[in-house]
Amino acid sequence: MPAPSLDAVANLAKRRGFIVQSSEIYGGAAAAYDYGPLGVELKNNLKRLWWEDMTRRYENIVGLDAAIFMHPKVWEASGHVEAFSDLLVECRTCHKRFRAEEVSKDACLACGAKKSFTEPRKFNLMFRTHLGPTEDAGSTVYLRPETAQGIYADAPYIQQVMRLKLPFGIAQIGKAFRNEVTPGNFIFRTVEFEQAEMQFFVRPSEADRWFEHWKEERMRWYHTVLGFPNDTVRFHPHAKKELAHYAKAADDIQYHFPIDWQEIEGVHNRGDWDLSRHAKFSGKDLSFFDEDTKEKVLPWIIETSAGVDRVLLALLTQAYTEETVKEAGAAGRGAGEKRLVLKLPRHLAPVRAAVFPLLSNNDELVAKAQEISRELRQHFVIQYDDAGAIGRRYRRQDEIGTPHCVTVDHVSLEDNTVTVRDRDTLRQDRVRCGDALIACLRTV
Ligand code: GAP
């Protein structure tokens, strides 16, 4: 099947309660999105899988949830005040701004005016605001443009209280904000987004080895945990001129979106940039005592930085499937009938199972289905649905990626079994209620 367009993915996401533009009743806020009831379940599942993979599997990686507001000097030390900017040009006719690298020298992309651009000027991507009642330079604070700096500022504290030895890591998931000049492509580039970052503190002599290690580990995650096929994700090593101001080496992990290959995660060797700058700006010694060499060392940092929203967009794109039903009678479908199904990895699906009474006007079936639904709700996210023909109910669940549909029929009333229909194979099996049903739905 050809890859769906981003518009098709965005339409489905909106129609089915995953993602909608922020403040839509006012015409929508530019480049900001809300995750609806199903979107938040999917996003939470995704973040949980990242968290489990990046913290619980390792005894030397711990978690953090740092504040978004930090001391403004943090952003001077990090280099973001000085260097976190895009080069912009402005059209003298329509006053729209573009990234300098995006415009053709001849004509404005918006109004078509010829040779009307200003010279490129730097535009800082950090959102600035003021803390407290006055709006002077001393009260300036920034919305963090990356979660990483909270980790660096707390690293000496965390190392001490958790008695961590080199190498060790600190992981964090949280919001970041960037005043992007050209946001767009649905949730791909927004001004408010979430990052899942892990900062790994290493001896300088071991940095290259750990950089390679984390590249492989992160690629493994995309393949084995999220199920991305080999030909949909790749590394993109940064050439020298592409490197961010803090990076000694960097590889993007790119996903093959309908709009092209695009970055979903960066793996960076940040050298001693961050800790040496914070040591200088704070006046604190941020070197750690190395138990093995019995020397003080200023660790280097290997960073893995994933964009939660971009990975989620890749997941939706990967899962979006239009297919033709092969066999007549397969769970309420005729042969040749088309269906739209979100083939999300089952452990990520926002709803684990839907429970239906076969007939919505039969009180006994309805009561039994509601009782089963209540029981299953203690273990999984469940939807109960008795509205419309059974085929339509299947269709609704296919479109949100629900792996199992549990139907209560007349046989259920006699022997306490139900039919369980599989989203992908469309097979229906009879399963006994209680432990057997719970075990069946747990299978991913
Ligand atoms: N701490 C390093 C850092 O922030 P980055 O490459 O600038 O590195 C990491 O960002 C990830 O954050 C990107 O790979 C991308 O997935 C996500 N990201 C960055 N800007 C974004 C935006 N405007 N909207 C959505 N996601 C974004």
Pocket of ligand 1 (CB under 6 A): 146, 148, 178, 180, 189-190, 193, 195, 197, 263-266, 303, 305-307, 309-310
Pairing mode, strands 33-35 and 19-21: antiparallel
Mean pLDDT of 197-213: 98
Question: Is-contact 408 414, C-beta < 8 A?
Answer: no
Q: What is the mean pLDDT of residues 423-432?
A: 96
Least confident of 20-34, 74-88, 103-117, 314-328: 103-117
Q: Whose CA is nearest to atom 19 of ligand 1?
A: 307
Q: Which one of 92-101, 132-141, 404-413 scores highest in mean pLDDT?
A: 404-413
User: How confident is the prediction for the chain on average, in pLDDT?
Assistant: 93
The pLDDT value given to residue 410: 97
Question: 76-85, 165-174, 336-345: which range is least confident on average?
Answer: 76-85
Q: Is 43 helix (H, G, I), strand (E, B) or coil?
A: helix
Instruction: Quickly list DSSP for 326-395.
Output: -STTTTS--TT-EEEEE---GGG-S-SEEEEES-TT-HHHHHHHHHHHHHHTTTS-EEE--SS-HHHHHH
pLDDT at 105 (0 to 100): 64
The torsion angle over the Cα atoms of residues 195, 199, 205 and 208, rounded to 10 degrees, is -30
Q: Over range 178-189, report the average pLDDT.
A: 91
Residue nearest to atom 24 of ligand 1 (CA): 189
Q: What is the pLDDT of residue 327?
A: 60
Segment 129-147 mean pLDDT: 90
d(CA 369, CA 258): 41
Which residue out of 146, 218, 274 has the highest number of ligand 1 atoms within 8 Å of its CB and is therefore the one to mutate? 146
pLDDT score, position 17? 98
Q: Is the pLDDT of residue 122 over 90?
A: no
Tell me: pLDDT of 80 over 80: yes
pLDDT of residue 329: 57
pLDDT over threshold 80, residue 326: no
- 110: CA distance to ligand 1 center in Å? 26
Confidence (pLDDT) at 139? 87
Residue bearing the CA closest to ligand 1, atom 20: 189
Ligand 1 atom with least separation from CA of 195: 12
For 386, how many CA atoms within 13 A lie in the half-sphere containing its CB?
17
Mean pLDDT along residues 53-80: 96
Segment 300-317 shows an average pLDDT of 98
Pocket-testing residue among 191, 236, 245, 305, ligand 1, by greatest number of atoms within 8 A of Cβ: 305
Distance (Å, rounded) from C-alpha 379 to C-alpha 352?
10
Q: How far, in Å, from the CA of 135 to the mean position of ligand 1?
A: 29
Where does the pLDDT of residue 112 fall: very low under 50, low under 70, confident under 90, or very high at 90 and above? confident
The predicted model gives 236-243 an average pLDDT of: 92
Between residues 364 and 183, the one the model is more confident about: 364
Ligand 1 atom with the smallest distance to the CA of 147 is: 1
Residue nearest to atom 16 of ligand 1 (CA): 307
- Do strands 288-290 and 233-237 pair parallel, antiparallel, or not at all (unpaired)? unpaired
Contact residues for 402 (Cβ-Cβ < 8 A; gap 6+): 349, 351, 352, 353, 354, 383, 423
Helix (H) or strand (E) holding 197: strand 192-202
49-64 residue pLDDT tens: 999 999 999 999 999 9
Percent of the chain with pLDDT over 90: 80
pLDDT attached to residue 73:
96
pLDDT band per the 50, 70, 90 thresholds, residue 118: confident
For 136-157, what is the mean pLDDT? 94
CA of 147 to the centre of ligand 1 (A): 10
CA distances from 372 to 26, 336, 350, 393 (A): 41, 33, 19, 17
Instruction: Summarize pLDDT for 372-396 with one digit per residue, the tens.
Output: 999 999 999 999 999 999 999 999 9
Q: With bands split at pLDDT 50, 70 and 90, how would you rate the model's confidence at 163?
A: very high
Residue 255 bridge partners (DSSP): 233, 262
Q: Is the pLDDT of residue 241 over 90?
A: no
pLDDT at 97 over 80: no
Residues 419-433 have a mean pLDDT of: 97
Q: Which atom of ligand 1 is nearest to the CA of 187?
A: 25
